[in-house]
Structure 1
Amino acid sequence: MSSLVLAIDIRNTRTRLGLAVDGDLAAQWSVGTDAGYTPDEAVASVAAFFDAVTRGLATMEPGAVLDGAALPLRAPLADGAIVASVFPALTEVWVEAARRLTGTRPLTVGPGLKSGLKMDFADPASVGADRVAEMVAAKSAWGAPVLVVDLGTATTFELLDREGSFKGGIIAPGMGLGAAALAQGAAQLPAVGLRAPRTLLGRTTEAAMRSGIVMGEVARIDGLIDMIWAEAGYTTPVVLTGRGAEAIAALMAHEAVVDQSLGLRGLVELYGLNRS
């Protein structure tokens, strides 16, 4: 019988769920992160995810082979689980949900969990669980050095050096925060959707804002990549993940690989390293 592992990645805006079969991520699902979530609602979200897998409605990983009819119909739904959270108020909510779903307390990403990474960082315990998972997956897929850029509520950069050590990173406001700040802080500026403008110089207020937010993000990422490479003394593969990564990568001057499964795959790898 196949081994099933549930991966739960709690971010500020979205919570991503992954189902791994025999150590490989097979399917994923996304729900909104809600500070008022209860363990019952978290359990219901996972149940909906499993139902979507069974019905062929969930996002499946390329090459994944998963017979939906073989999924458990009642708890335990998986053999184990791992939780990464950057939303402390929801950590125990999802831990309790995972315990109900698997019959055992899940692993949580944090101090004491083996990652296989060298942390050349002043306070390793302060590195976000999501960033650790992404670096683990990036190192596995691309080796070292590698630079990961995550487009979320914050735009983050993580550099693994030639020895595979986390050398440090950058955290900046994400595009959504920038758009919200403009709309809230300037009385005459409206809320706008985050899509690339047709031309750089906008001929309407909305188009000008989209240029500033979206193309400004592209310029910031391209510029920071060059600055990181200059400080490191070498170039690296660049991996983009997060909301809108495909669109941003297409606009960048630097070549970048988009990997939307990066964080969940990293959680699955962390589970494998620590399951004993």
Structure 2
Amino acid sequence: MLLAIDAGNTNVVFALLEGREIRARWRIATDPRRTADEYAVWLNQLLMLEGYRIADVEAVIIATVVPRALHNLQVLADKYFRTTALVAGQAPVEWGIALDVAEPASVGADRVVNAIAAHHLYQEDLIVIDFGTATTFDVIDYHGAYKGGIIAPGINLSLDALVAAAAKLPKIAIAPPENRSVIGRTTEAQMHIGVFWGYVAMMEGLVARMRAEIGRPAKVIATGGLAVLFDDNSDIFDAIAPDLTIQGLALLYERSLKTE
């Protein structure tokens, strides 16, 4: 079985796959100081709860946007899974798609992996929106080439910055306002409106501008934990793909086997 690891700025997601089928998934807060031994103790318990063993893992593939976290994850693979981890974007796991941007090396691994998976699912012009620490908008053309995109503050990051900078504003949860009115009558209601509907308006406006610039119809694919929340309150998404990054890692692993 394959252990796919997506190390993001906020969480590290571990997914156990049989072929392309996800059998189990877990997440833990990103901490570059976390050792391979700590990961192993945590993972061993979770594997057993799902009816698996460490010995069931035959290969490990990693995508990370946190360089300092990579070493300990590689040690985890070497020491406990008895395999050398494959790293997305590094030989023999080359991207296999064109990165048609000014600085290809600066594109986050998660964004390229998302592009690979999205093009595999839909061979057309695409906009992939990934809700994470940052919200990213990525354009993939119908040939599968990554053309660039947008990086915006994630909604939680935006809310945290607002509360931190304004002493009298309370902490609120990320949730849709009780109704669709955009005239709040309490401080909390006004914050909900500003954060939630402001974010929806930002997404809709950016997608409209991107589609106009692309000049052809573009399907919008959403991934990340908040995708479903926004899908219920906007019609810009054509599809929700919560496991897009993991699916992309599975595809990269398959490609690596063909190069051996």
- Same fold, TM-score > 0.5, yes or no: yes
For 2:234 and 2:19, the matched residues in 1 are separated by: 36
* Residue of 30, 36, 39 corresponding to 1:39: 36
Q: Does 1:140 align with 2:120?
A: yes
Which blocks of at least 5 consecutive residues in structure 2 are unaligned? none
Please show how residues 247-266 of structure 1 align to structure 2 within 5 Å: 247-266=229-248
Q: What corresponds to 2:105 in structure 1?
A: 125
Q: What corresponds to 1:273 in structure 2?
A: 255
- Contact 2:127/2:140 (8 A) holds in 1: yes
- Contact 1:24/1:268 (8 A) holds in 2: no
Q: What's the Cα RMSD here? A: 1.5
Q: 1:76 to 1:100 in 2, by over 3 A?
A: farther
- Contact 1:18/1:28 (8 A) holds in 2: yes
Q: CA deviation at 1:111?
A: 4.4
Provide Cα deviations, 1:35-89, integer angstroms capped at 9, x if missing partner: 33111111123223312322xxxxxxxxxxxxxxxx3x3x434111101111122
Q: TM-score, normalised by structure 2?
A: 0.93
Provide Cα deviations, 1:150-196, integer angstroms capped at 9, x if missing partner: 01110001110122211101001000110010011111112211111
Aligned residues: 255
Q: What corresponds to 2:4 in structure 1?
A: 7
- Contact 1:196/1:210 (8 A) holds in 2: yes
* Residue of 27, 35, 45 corresponding to 1:30: 27
Which blocks of at least 5 consecutive residues in structure 1 are unaligned? 55-70
For 2:30 and 2:208, the matched residues in 1 are separated by: 33
For 1:135 and 1:51, the matched residues in 2 are separated by: 33
Q: CA deviation at 1:207?
A: 1.7
Q: Does 1:102 align with 2:81?
A: yes
Q: Quick one: percent identity of the two aligned structures?
A: 34
Q: 1:247 to 1:133 in 2, by over 3 A?
A: same
